[in-house]
Amino acid sequence: MMKEDDVIICRCEEITLEEIRSWIGKGYRHFDELKRILRVGMGPCQGRGCRDIILRELAKATGEPLDKIDPGTIRPPVKPIKLGLCAYGKEGSSI
């Protein structure tokens, strides 16, 4: 059976629970710090898959209640869109 630690919790960047726990252990105690080191929450899913799990791990490590853990920043656009669509309102290039 797969160990809990080996579970990939961020599919965009293939980060395991073990990696998250190890960086929290090194003293990185905020979602925004882990995001800057591991890119969790920076991928196409914007943290939809991993954020809650990581916040729970942070709550466990710091002994703070879950609702006191800063969930970090979520940036637009919320869904990835093609550059051509941003520029020309359609996907192909106009030149």
Q: Which is nearer to another protein, 45 or 53 (CB)?
A: 45
In the complex, the smallest distance separating the C-beta of residue 55 from another protein, rounded to whole angstroms, is 16
Taking the complex as a whole, how short is the minimal distance between the CB of residue 2 and another protein, in angstroms? 26
Exposure b/e, 62-84, CB count within 10 A at least 16 = b:
eeeeeeebebbeeeeeeeeeeee
Residue 10, phi then psi, degrees to nearest 5: -115, 105
* The pair of three-digit structure tokens given for residue 1, joined into one six-digit string: 């059976």
Is the peptide bond between 44 and the residue preceding it cis, with omega within 30 degrees of 0?
Answer: no
Q: Which is nearer to another protein, 4 or 91 (CB)?
A: 91
**Interface ranges with another protein (CB under 8 A):** 26-30, 32-33, 36-37, 39, 42-44, 46, 75-77, 80-84, 86-88, 91-93, 95
Residue 1 beta carbon to another protein: minimum distance, rounded to whole angstroms: 31
